[in-house]
Amino acid sequence: MKTARFVKKRAETSRLFRGRLLELVDSFPGCPIAVWGDLILDEYLFGTTRRVSREAPVLILRYAGSEFTLGGAGNALLNLKALGAEPRPVGVVGRDEAGRTILGILRKHRIPAEGIQVRPEQKTPVKTRVLAGEENTRKQQILRLDRESRVRETPEIHGPMVRQLSQESRRSRALLISDYDYDTVSENVFRRVLPLFKKARRPVTLDSRFRLLRYSGVTAATPNEPEASEAGKAEIGDDVRRLRQTGRSLLSRLQADGLLITRGSRGMALFEKNRTPVLIPVHGTTHIVDVTGAGDTVISVFTLSLACGATFHQAAVLANIAGGLAVMKKGTAAVNRDELKQAVSSEP
C-alpha cells in the first residue's frame, strides 16, 4: 500500500538469508547474556470440573495437581537457556517459599544465581493461574490471582545491583532488561550502568510493561502493540499509517537504534534509524493457543541474535519465528534451539 510507506517482507525465502539465520542459531550455544529484571514465580493449579456450587454461581473443581515455573525475567532466562545461551540473572527475590522455589528452578536448569539478592524484607511476586476442564479435555484458564510486591529502592539493594551489572558489562555479550513494573529495574541504576555497556559495545534491549520511555538510550526495545499505543498515545489497530507514525516517534524518543513492535496475529513491525520500516507477517498459523510469555521469547531470541552479530532485520525475523512457535504452546513454555532451526529450515 503506497501511503503506508512500509517495506513488506515475508520471513526471507532466499537460500542465502535462510543460511545466515541458521548460522546465527548455531552460534547461540555458550553466549553469555545478562538478564536484569523482575523475577516472578508462575504457579499453575489444575482441576477437573465437577459441578456448579450451591453457595454461589461458581464452578467446583476437583484438584488434580500443580506446577511451578518462572515468569517475568525468569521466563527470558529459561528461553535463553533452551536456546543454548548462558543467561546471567540480576534481580531480587524474597527469603520466602516462592523465592526458594525460584532459586531451586534456576539450580535445576544450571543457571547461576550469584547476581540475585535474597532479601528478608522482600516478598517474591507470584502469579497463580487456575486451569480447569473435563477429565479428558484440554484445561482452560479460568482465574488468575496475582500476589504483587515491589522492590524497595534503597542503597542496600541498588549498590550490589550496580556492582553486579558492572561486572556483566565486561563478561556478558548483551544486557536484556525485563521490566514488569515491580521496580527491580530502576532509572537510577539504569543511568549508572548503561554507559558501561555502551562503552563495551554490548547491545542493551528493553521489554518494559508500562515504562517504555523512561529508559532512553537502549539499543532496541520490543513493545507489543498495546504498549506502543499507550506510550505513543495513539490507537493503532489496523491503521498502518498510524503504526508507522507511532513507531518512528517512539524510536526517536527512545534514542534507540531499533524498535520491534509485536502485533499478535498481524506479525511485527521493525523500525530502524534512517531505514524504511519493515512489516514482518506472523509466522505459522494465526490460531493462537496461548500468548503467555510470548513476549519473553521474542526479546530473548532478538537479544541473543544481536549479541551473536545479527542485523536488526535478521534478529527480528528469528524472533518472529520463535514467537510463532511460542504461542502454539501452553503456558510459559520455552522454544529450544532445535525447534527454531527446524522452523527456519522449513520456511518456504
pLDDT tens digit sequence for 25-84: 999 999 999 999 999 999 999 999 888 999 999 889 999 999 999 999 999 999 999 999
| Amino acid making up residue 154 | T
pLDDT of residue 3: 41
The per-residue pLDDT for range 167-226, each reduced to its tens digit, is 999 999 999 999 999 999 999 999 999 999 999 999 999 999 899 999 999 999 999 999
Question: Which burial class, exposed, middle or buried, applies to 124 when counting CB atoms under 10 A from its CB (0-12, 13-18, 19+)?
Answer: buried
Statement: residue 85 has pLDDT above 70: yes
Query: Which of the following is catalytic: 96, 290, 296, 338?
Result: 296
pLDDT of residue 347: 73
Across the chain, what does the average pLDDT equal? 91
Q: Give CA torsion, residues 291, 28, 32, 176, to 10 deg.
A: -30
**Residue 282: which pLDDT band, with cuts at 50, 70 and 90?**
confident
- Where is pLDDT greater, at 318 or 293? 318
Mean pLDDT of 297-325: 95
pLDDT of residue 28: 98
pLDDT of residue 7: 56
HEC letters along 204-236: EEEEECCCHHHCCCCCEECCEHHHHHHHHCCCC
Q: How far apart are CA 268 and CA 22, in angstroms?
A: 20
- pLDDT > 90 fraction of the chain, expressed in percent and rounded: 76
- Its pTM stands at 0.90
Statement: residue 101 has pLDDT above 90: yes
Q: How far apart are CA 115 and CA 92, in angstroms?
A: 9
Q: Which helix (H) or strand (E) holds 206?
A: strand 204-208
Is 179 one of the annotated active-site residues of the chain? no
Statement: residue 12 has pLDDT above 50: no
| Domain locations along the chain | 2-39+71-124+148-345
Q: What is the CATH code of the structural domain delimited by 2-39+71-124+148-345?
A: 3.40.1190.20
